[in-house]
Amino acid sequence: MSETNHAGALAGIRVIDLSRILGGPYCGQILGDHGADVLKIEPPQGDDTRAWGPPFTEIDGVRVASYYLGLNRNKRGIRLDLASEPGRAALITLLEGADVLIENFKTGTMEKWGLGYDTLSQRFPRLIHCRVSGFGADGPLGGLAGYDAAVQAMTGIMSVNGSPESGPLRVGLPAVDLVTGLNAAFGVLLALQERARSGKGQFVEASLYDGGLSLLHPHAANWFLDGEEPRLTGNAHPNIYPYDAFPTRTEAIFLAVGNDRQFERFCKYLGHPELAQDARYQTAGGRSSHRAELRAELVRVLADQDGPALAEALIREGVPCAPILTVSAALQHPHTAHREMVVHIGPHYTGVGAPIKLSRTPATYRLAPPVRSEESPVTKESHA
């Protein structure tokens, strides 16, 4: 999808994004995609992720990593040294008329600079101050820095990801950082909705720790009910079966059979309706309890099948199934293009599109990431 002239759902909302790395910038990008005017303010040395590569590209004489490009579109960019008095004064000026402030400094930093919520809310009572943090400000871990992989380990995510052979594994993408960015954006929208009634801003916090725990379904629900420690099950779902990866004659597929009707259709399509009549497999609970026997049966039945062709046929029969694609194959899939999930801005930027589709006010892609962030004009005046 190319640049459009549609005003987004957040048109007229001004956002100051002081955040770096992932969760905060992802929040800012979501708001920007939907029409907010987002000003990204980086420290003098720039966002750390500018150097997180390879791969790198050079744009207008600036070497920048793909990691940074993937999180900072639809933002204008300047640099300020908030550790200096002129930098803080410049920020105060920029906050005049702003609706949202996003930051992910270590707890206490903004307060040390005289920019904490209690102070800013006195001067800007309508301001929504969104903080992305590791663990929140207080409690046993309050104020500590958080990192995606460490929080995956601490919140139990790694303990349920992997197989008995591999042991616990980090999820292969920054799931905690990403969900925290989503939670931050959601929190900002909730606060904007409430402000429309009260006229008052508020403090919004999204922590990595809370976000990691929120991802534990169904493992947390299972533990609350039976008290049993979840086991590593590899690709298999802990509650339902067959919900697992299976080899075929060609490429592996993933089956996600969630109810009895789907299992009956699956068995009938494969020419083995007797499997659905087997007393062990007639119910979801039975299939899950007898998963080892059922897996052995299905591995045998699928051994002569062409995986991608079977997956295509089964999903059209109403049986959830998919080929296991590489990242490049997924990004080049015809349905990805149809859903406008790969977007371009200018000659240098390609990224993943916004997953939320609005009929009247769709996301737009107006600004490539600010590769060359300028010094604030306010700061320049203060130096004159």
- CB count, 10 Å around CB of 199? 9
- pLDDT at position 123 is 97
- pLDDT at position 375 is 62
Residues 6+ away with beta carbon under 8 Å from 92 = 123
Cα gap 257→265, rounded to integer Å: 10
The stretches of 116-169 forming alpha helices (DSSP H) are: 117-123, 148-154
Instruction: Note if the pTM is more than 0.75.
Output: yes
Cα gap 46→226, rounded to integer Å: 49
Q: Which of 17, 37, 99, 177 is the catalytic position? A: 177
Phi-psi region of 46 (alpha: psi -120 to 50; beta: other; left: phi over 0): left
Helix (H, G, I), strand (E, B) or coil at 4: coil
Mean pLDDT by 10 residues, the chain (384 residues): 67 98 98 98 96 95 96 97 97 97 95 97 98 96 95 97 96 97 98 98 98 97 96 93 97 96 96 96 96 97 96 96 96 97 96 97 97 63 37
| Centroid of chain to Cα 11 | 23
- pLDDT at position 381 is 43
Cα gap 120→59, rounded to integer Å: 37
- pLDDT at position 30 is 98
Q: Is 177 a catalytic residue?
A: yes
- The residues spanned by each domain of the chain are 14-215+338-383, 253-323
CA distances from 384 to 41, 85, 89 (A): 21, 15, 15
- CB count, 10 Å around CB of 65? 18
- pLDDT at position 3 is 45
Cα gap 7→169, rounded to integer Å: 43
- pLDDT at position 376 is 56
Instruction: Tell the CATH superfamily of the 14-215+338-383 domain.
Output: Crotonobetainyl-coa:carnitine coa-transferase; domain 1 (3.40.50.10540)
Instruction: Tell the CATH superfamily of the 253-323 domain.
Output: formyl-coa transferase, domain 3 (3.30.1540.10)
* Per-residue burial over 295-314, b = 16 or more CB atoms within 10 Å of its CB, e = otherwise: eebbeebbeebebbebbeeb
Helix, strand counts (H, E) of the chain:
17, 14
Sort strands 100-103 and 14-17 into parallel, antiparallel or unpaired: parallel
338-356 residue pLDDT tens: 999 999 999 999 999 999 9
- pLDDT at position 67 is 97
181-233 residue pLDDT tens: 999 999 999 999 999 999 999 999 999 999 999 999 999 999 999 999 999 99
**Orientation of helix 307-316 relative to helix 260-269, angle to 10°:** 130
Q: What is the DSSP annotation of 196-226?
A: HHH----EEEEEHHHHHHHT-TTHHHHHHHH
Cα gap 132→148, rounded to integer Å: 12
DSSP 63: E
Cα gap 16→77, rounded to integer Å: 10
- pLDDT at position 383 is 35
- pLDDT at position 384 is 33
